[in-house]
Amino acid sequence: MANIIGTNGNDTLLGSSDSDTINGKVGNDIITASDGNDTLTGGGGNDEFVFYPFSRGTNIITDFGGIGKGINPSAAVIPEVDTLNFQGNDDFSAENLLLTQNGNNLEISFEGDAYETRFFGPIVILQNLALENLENLSKSTGATIDLGNIQFDGQTSITDGFDVFNANSTQSTIFNLNTVTFLNDLSNNVSGFDNSDDVINGQGGDDIIDGLSGNDLLRGGAGNDSLVGGAGNDTLVGGVGNDSLTGNDSLVGGTGNDYLNVEFSTGDNTLNGGAGNDTLRGGASTGNNLLSGDDGNDYLYTSNVYSSVSGYIYFPSSSNNTLNGGAGDDTLDAQAPLGNNLLSGGDGNDSLFSSGYYESRGINFGSSGNNTLNGGAGDDYLSARYSTGNNLLSGNDGNDSLSISAYLFTSVNYDDYLSSSGNNTLNGGAGDDTLNAQSPSGNNLLFGGYGGNDKIIGGAGNDSLSTSGYGNSTLYGGDGNDTLTASGFGNGNDSLYGGAGTDTGQTHLIY
């Protein structure tokens, strides 16, 4: 660890790759941090603190001089204003800037991409500085002097790159069009502008932020926030807390029990729930959506059917959706899909559905997509109901239940039959699994997996049922000309029942 001390003049000081203590003393100094957790002191004057992507670590500045509120800093303030200069990466920008008030200290960091919580570069902590005292002033926007606290990559002079709400501000709109804005710790109800690409950053309050039209980036910060993107290609990041996010394109819930909604959107959306028990909805959406629950017991839902007070509306969308449950006991539901959907439960005891829609008043919509359902580790339930597509269901590890089914409803007014006529593949994987294709009329392939005590039931088509390895399995062919195969090491008691039709039973001894 180096202890670097400047003179009373204008010094240029460079830190080492270790954790350094650097003091510029009096004068207008340039201090460049390197690797390590550095403690930096300007020592009076207009000091410049320079950071690069390799300046990793947490850097503390003990005496940073902010500008304060307003556009006319006093004569006493101007000689003490310091500047942070972030260089070497175009992700060092006002759009990716994160400012977080932690008590008396202000933390500064950056996101690597506007739609991800992937941080890079240094973390800078300004001791005893309030967010409202951080500012960039430019004559082009009405200031009396070009003076600022933050200079971003590629800039050779200060520009008015962001606005900050005063600590007690309760205004309902941001200051300027196409601008980066930081709110205060109050619970704000604020909107951007129409036809404006706004970046609005919440802090510790329970904020309601509406971007209106335009390509907006909304961050809730800490607190239980509600973010609405409006028309345009928006990115919504909830942050810590139980948040509600509604919009198009990219939604990131963060830690907490979040609600993410892109219903009725027409673009391709990405929803990431983050840690917590989250709800992600992509109903009545025509785009190709990616829904990821991450940790927690999550509910992920896409549908071509929308229920309203006036009845049921069908959106015949052929979008191809991907639903990833992540760790936890998740429910993944792709309802009435026409596209090819991929559902992956991940770890935990998950329930995966890819099915047509049926309602008891005779309202029904089938599913014709070729869907893939992967249960992952855990005891999972996988179901493709009322589907005419060719579906692949894989239970993987655990005691799983896999089902392909049709539906018959009879009443005094009408009879409804929703068929499952596709050629489906069911793979139980390891564990004691139940595979059921009893109602479908397609030609299905059912494989119990290796080593478990499996129950495999065919349907009305010409099905292929098989089990292998250790275990005592039971195979029921059902109607149709079925092939039933039991392969093992000679130490399991398997039972094969053909049912109606001309069936073929086979046993293979594995040496």
* Residue 446 confidence (pLDDT): 86
Cβ neighbours, 10 Å, residue 114: 15
Residue-averaged pLDDT of the chain? 84
* Residue 506 confidence (pLDDT): 87
Residues 34 and 48: their CA atoms lie apart, in Å, by 14
Residues 137 and 430: their CA atoms lie apart, in Å, by 65
Q: Which of 9-18, 231-240, 410-419 has the lowest mean pLDDT?
A: 410-419
Q: How far is CA 12 from CA 25, 273, 507, in A?
A: 11, 46, 82
Q: Which of 24-38, 74-88, 116-130, 375-389 has the lowest mean pLDDT?
A: 116-130
**What percentage of the chain has pLDDT greater than the value 90?**
42
CA Rg, the chain, in Å? 30
* Residue 312 confidence (pLDDT): 53
Q: pLDDT per residue over 267-284, tens digit each?
A: 788 999 989 999 998 877
CA pseudo-torsion sign 151, 152, 157, 159: negative
pLDDT band at 358 (very low <50, low <70, confident <90, very high): low
With CA atoms as reference, report the closest residue to 136 among 158, 157, 119. 158
* Residue 478 confidence (pLDDT): 86
* Residue 410 confidence (pLDDT): 47
* Residue 67 confidence (pLDDT): 85
Number of helices (H), then strands (E), belonging to the chain: the values are 0, 52
* Residue 217 confidence (pLDDT): 93
* Residue 89 confidence (pLDDT): 86
Q: pLDDT per residue over 142-167, tens digit each?
A: 666 777 889 998 887 777 678 899 88
Per the structure block, which two tokens stand in for 496?
């094969």
Pairing of strands 445-450, 464-468: parallel
Say whether pLDDT at 359 is over 70: no
Residues 346 and 326: their CA atoms lie apart, in Å, by 5
pLDDT band at 169 (very low <50, low <70, confident <90, very high): confident
For residues 77-93, give the mean pLDDT.
90
Residues belonging to the chain: 511
* Residue 390 confidence (pLDDT): 85
CA pseudo-torsion sign 143, 147, 148, 151: positive
pLDDT band at 250 (very low <50, low <70, confident <90, very high): confident
Distance of CA 106 to the CA centre of its chain: 27
Kind and range of the H or E element at 205? none
Q: What is the SS3 assignment for 114-158?
A: CCCCCEEEEEEEECCCCHHHCCEECHHHCCCCCEECEECCCCCCC
**What percentage of the chain has pLDDT greater than the value 70?**
86
Distance of CA 62 to the CA centre of its chain: 36
With CA atoms as reference, report the closest residue to 420 among 437, 443, 440, 436. 440
For residues 43-62, give the mean pLDDT.
92
Q: pLDDT per residue over 469-500, tens digit each?
A: 677 889 998 888 999 998 876 567 888 898 88
Q: Which of 238-247, 292-301, 394-403, 488-497 has the lowest mean pLDDT?
A: 488-497
With contact defined as beta carbons under 8 Å apart, do 474 and 494 qualify? yes
How would you classify residue 88: left for phi > 0, otherwise alpha for psi between -120 and 50, otherwise beta?
left
* Residue 364 confidence (pLDDT): 56
Distance of CA 86 to the CA centre of its chain: 28
Dump the DSSP string for 159-194.
---EEE--TT---SB-SSTT-EEE--SS--EEE--T
For residues 71-100, give the mean pLDDT.
88
Q: Based on the number of CB atoms within 10 Å of its own CB, is 509 exposed (0-12), middle (13-18) or buried (19 or more)?
A: exposed
Q: pLDDT per residue over 376-431, tens digit each?
A: 999 999 988 777 778 899 999 999 998 887 654 444 444 444 456 678 888 988 88
* Residue 346 confidence (pLDDT): 94
